[in-house]
Amino acid sequence: MKIGIDDGFSPELVTNANFDGFLEIPVIERPKEIIIPDPEKMIPFSKRNRSKDSSEFVH
pLDDT confidence band for 38 (50 / 70 / 90): confident
Q: What is the mean pLDDT of residues 16-41?
A: 87
pLDDT at 11: 65
> Which among 38, 45, 18, 21 has a CA at the least distance from the CA of 30?
18
CA distances in angstroms from 31 to 10, 23, 28, 40, 53, listed in the order given = 25, 24, 9, 22, 27
pLDDT of residue 31: 92
Contact call for residues 44 and 51 (beta carbons, < 8 A): no
Question: Taking residues 12-23, what's their average pLDDT?
Answer: 83
pTM of the prediction? Answer: 0.40
Q: What is the dihedral of CA 26, 38, 44, 50, to 10 degrees?
A: -110
Tell me what the pLDDT averaged over the chain comes to: 82
- pLDDT of 3 reads 60
| SS3 category, 19 | strand
| For the chain, domain boundaries | 11-58
